[in-house]
Amino acid sequence: MLISGFDGFDRSLEEASLDLGETAFGTFRRVTLPVVAPAIISSLLVSFTISLDEFILAFFLSGTEPTLPVYIWGQLRFAAKLPSVLALGSIMIALSIILVTTAEILRRRAEHRLKAGAAAHG
């Protein structure tokens, strides 16, 4: 996902920003990051989803510190811990929805900026 996000990035936007007097950090913050942020966020979401999906691998390789899937599985064995596990699941769903919504907003903004830049140059 990151590769596809960076493949669609036009390097001339960075060059134009630097030619217009922006610093390297400013160019990264105002040009590069808004365009590639959706790819970064979506790759984080996919990585998080895969890490939850691979419970068996996490169970056998977790070591002394339990990972989130192993912790949830351990708490499900006790009926008294069920409300806290359900609350944790609700928080995870809410955060996932917020992250997906944020990624879509950033994607639309980046797409709008690219179209506006292409219209101004074209």
First-to-last C-alpha distance (Å) of the chain: 29
Query: Average pLDDT, whole number, for the chain?
Result: 83
pLDDT at 57 over 80: no
CA distance 34 to 98: 17
pLDDT of residue 122: 62
pLDDT for 1-42, tens place per residue?
Answer: 778 778 878 888 888 988 999 899 999 998 888 888 888 888
75 pLDDT band, cuts 50/70/90, is confident
Checking phi first, is residue 21 left (phi over 0); if not, alpha (psi -120 to 50) or beta? left
Q: What is the reported pTM?
A: 0.55
